[in-house]
Amino acid sequence: MRTAYLTLILCVLLPQSSPAQGTATSRGDAMIAKYFERETNELSDTCLADVESLEQWQTQRERYRRELLEMLGLQPLPEKTALQVEITGTQEQDEFIVENLHFQSRPGLYVTANLYRPKVVRGKLPAVLYVCGHGAVKRNGVSFGNKVHYHHHGCWFARNGYLCLVIDTLQLGEIEGIHHGTYRYNRWWWLNRSYTPAGVEAWNCVRAIDYLQSRPEVDGERIGVTGRSGGGAYSWWIAAIDDRIKCAVPVAGITDLQNHVVDGTVEGHCDCMFMVNTFRWDYTKVAALVAPRPLLISNTDSDRIFPLDGVYRTFKQVRDIYGLYNASDKVALNITAGSHKDTQELRVHAFRWLNFHLKGDDSLITKTAEKHLEAETLRVFDRLPEDENNTQIDETFVATANRLPLPQNAQELEGQRNTIKRTLQEKCFRGWPQETTHLDAKLAFDSTADNIRMRAFDFTSQTGIRLRLYLAERANLTKPDLVVLNVMDQTEWQRFLATYRPAFERELQQETLPAADGESFERTTKMFRAFKWTMAYVAPRGVGPTQWNTDQRNQIQIRRRFHLLGQTLQGMQTYDVRRAIQMLRTVEGRETQPLWLQSHRQMAGVTLYASLFEPQIKRLDLHALPATHRDGPFFLNIRRVVDLPETVALAAHKSQLVLYGDHQEAWEYPQQVARQVGWPNQQFQLRKPPAP
């Protein structure tokens, strides 16, 4: 009866109310800016810092390559299925021939391309894979592909003794897929899936090399890659993961985390530019994997999304790796005047570098790269294939984990729980601090009103992240029977302020307060009179006192910055909840009392995962918990490990767990575990949401 009454109070204590408008965010804005700078500096300072000899580098290089493949969604490598090459058209020019073709890098994943070859071929030719940037060519609703925008490069290579394959990208090809998943379409579940379109582009490049090596005209030991902007990035991916690339000229395709995260260039880039940074790399490590093969890093001096300072820092570190091979002459930095554009100056240096390293030709460039062809003549498909998978490749490119097998007994369930926890720390929460910071707790206030005592403690969750833990209880309570930690999202934060404003407006005045809710406050006072309970409240980073700029675009770009650092916002909020639990257990008289956790919506998922890593959580009350991680919370790689129904079962192994929601059929798996293991009825419960 006592448990049922407590549950009722927990459900109705805070009434529905809308968040206040115009909340000041200066504290959160300053905090998150400093946080990003500090985290970026840490990753930058440690990137390649332990490499002092060639032997050290060679020992680590293959591991780094495997890590990069994993971060591109390519570990294990997909099966190399038949390319199904089809040439749909051929045209002759004075000096070269163009073939319009498509191949399938995996079944249904079409790559549209133009292949340029000299009209007269004598012997085996060097080949260049040209990868395109974001140059759309679209007329009357028909996409001709960005291969058309960059076709002058293919023309030049064919006119100068190369076979050149120019391939469309996923988003701007003839079949229009998506690069802008987190940037524009709120597909945060990409992070859960370990999916990035960078992986698709990298794999398409791998298969493009397979095709080039199948051509009788091509010398398979003389293949280079180049491209600018997005194509510059894809040049990095393929050169780093595939040693068949013997020479690379990425143009305007790389800079470091300082530029992306601190200086904000991430806001100018779509998702195809970034790996899922599980292993917390700076981008210099990607570039270093090209060594000791010839590499020209090319950029303009006024490129706003690839700033010169970051490009130079990257080059400087990469040059050190080349130095270990005594190959400093194989790496160079080319800077020309201009903004983020495809300029003749950039092209000339790329042509000379490829000529020298693939042909042994150091002569002057006498032919310019000019556009010779009309868009319509380069089109591959008259009609798009019905079996294409390009437009939904994000659903299948990276496989999700199979559901955990049903444990046969409690011992087997314990083993699953321990294994999953280790994997979560390695693959999903690697961005948590490696060393625990002192809580440095400070009492912010201690006030009593209407026979309720409220205290607030400021504590350090992570260096630079100061949060506030509120405790409310009846006055003069020394040792409660129960402590309930409410983990608040922005909606619950507003309810908290509305409930306690009638008695504690002065203490809460630094917040933007919603209208006071007298009815909720009265219910609260009755609860405290009837029961010896402590109600604790915490808002993780980005919520409540530390909320940052609420503009939607700003919110998106902040979340993307976390991603670049090998974290997610909700992954770090999970760490905040752990720290709040640790903080709560330092408060006198609350160290060992039974502890319940309560939360709502996606924050309920955050709380669920935090409970796995903290001991002696008596019970979890989770309201409107999403039934799948596709709806949040969003953690790196989580769907390659588990989904929420399995995590619920793992948590319920140690803590009583109550789910409140309408979709009870979604929780069949934990119900099966309960029956299989023989849990008592109260260990796992499904309840309808309380009436508003």
Summarize pLDDT for 530-556 with one digit per residue, the tens. Answer: 999 999 999 999 999 999 999 999 999
Give the tens place of pLDDT for each residue, 288-320.
999 999 999 999 999 999 999 999 999 999 999
Q: Which residues of 283-301 are buried (b: 16+ CB within 10 A; e: fewer)?
A: bbbbbbbbbbbbbbbbbbe
Q: What phi and psi values does residue 146 have, to the nearest 5 degrees?
A: -75, -5
DSSP annotation of 185 reads S
Determine if the pTM surpasses 0.85. yes
Residue 222: predicted pLDDT: 99
Closest CA to 360 of 251, 250, 246: 246
Give the torsion through C-alpha atoms of 587, 590, 591, 594, to 10 deg: -150
Confidence of residue 662 (pLDDT cuts 50, 70, 90): confident
Confidence of residue 351 (pLDDT cuts 50, 70, 90): very high
pLDDT > 70 fraction of the chain, expressed in percent and rounded: 96
Chain centroid offset of residue 514 CA: 34
Chain centroid offset of residue 129 CA: 28
| C-alpha distances out from residue 513 to 452, 486, 506, 518, Å | 19, 19, 11, 14
Q: How many CB atoms lie within 10 A of CB 414?
A: 15
Alpha helices by DSSP H, listed for 531-677, are 552-564, 569-584, 601-612, 644-652, 668-677
Alpha helices by DSSP H, listed for 484-551, are 490-504, 518-530
CATH of 69-390, one of 3.30.70.890, 3.40.50.1820, 3.10.20.30, 1.10.3720.10: 3.40.50.1820
DSSP annotation of 76 reads S
210-214, 243-247, 586-590: range with lowest mean pLDDT:
586-590
Closest CA to 132 of 117, 119, 140, 144: 144
Beta strand 163-167 with 482-487 is: unpaired
Q: C-alpha angle 467/470/475, rounded to 5°?
A: 160
| C-alpha distances out from residue 70 to 67, 76, 202, 271, 571, Å | 5, 7, 12, 16, 19
Residue 384: predicted pLDDT: 98
DSSP string of 372-410?
-S-GGGG---SS--TT--GGGGGGTSSPPPPPPPPPSSH
Residue 402 has pLDDT above 90, yes or no: yes
Confidence of residue 488 (pLDDT cuts 50, 70, 90): very high
Q: What phi and psi values does residue 343 have, to the nearest 5 degrees?
A: -105, 160
Give the tens place of pLDDT for each residue, 428-441.
999 999 999 999 99
Mean pLDDT taken over the chain: 96
Residue 5: predicted pLDDT: 40
Q: Across residues 229-233, what is the average pLDDT?
A: 98
Q: How far apart are CA 437 and CA 646, in angstroms?
A: 31
423-687 has the same fold as 69-390: yes
Domain boundaries, the chain: 69-390, 423-687
Contact (CB, 8 A) for 104 and 110: yes
| C-alpha distances out from residue 564 to 68, 264, 519, 559, Å | 14, 11, 45, 9
Residue 20 has pLDDT above 70, yes or no: no
Which sign does the torsion angle of CA 234, 235, 239, 240 carry?
A: negative
pLDDT > 90 fraction of the chain, expressed in percent and rounded: 94
| C-alpha distances out from residue 539 to 243, 536, 634, Å | 49, 11, 18
Residue 14: predicted pLDDT: 40
Residue type, 413: L
Beta bridge mates, 142: 139
Residue 664: predicted pLDDT: 84
Residue 448 has pLDDT above 90, yes or no: yes
Contact (CB, 8 A) for 647 and 633: no
DSSP string of 424-462?
IIIIISTTS-SSPPP---EEEEEEEETTEEEEEEEEEEE
| C-alpha distances out from residue 39 to 42, 235, 275, 465, 566, Å | 5, 27, 18, 12, 10
Decide: helix, strand or coil at residue 228: strand
DSSP string of 113-141?
EEEEEESS--S-EEEEEEE--S---EETT
Confidence of residue 15 (pLDDT cuts 50, 70, 90): very low
Give the tens place of pLDDT for each residue, 598-655.
999 999 999 999 999 999 999 999 999 999 999 999 999 999 999 999 999 999 999 9
Rg (the chain; Cα; Å): 29
CATH of 423-687, one of 3.40.50.1360, 1.10.10.10, 3.40.50.1820, 1.10.530.10: 3.40.50.1820
Q: How many CB atoms lie within 10 A of CB 428?
A: 27
Beta bridge mates, 474: 452
Closest CA to 529 of 450, 447, 594, 448: 450
Q: How many CB atoms lie within 10 A of CB 40?
A: 22
Q: How far apart are CA 606 and CA 635, in angstroms?
A: 9
Q: How far apart are CA 635 and CA 622, in angstroms?
A: 18
Q: Across residues 500-518, what is the average pLDDT?
A: 97
Residue type, 427: K
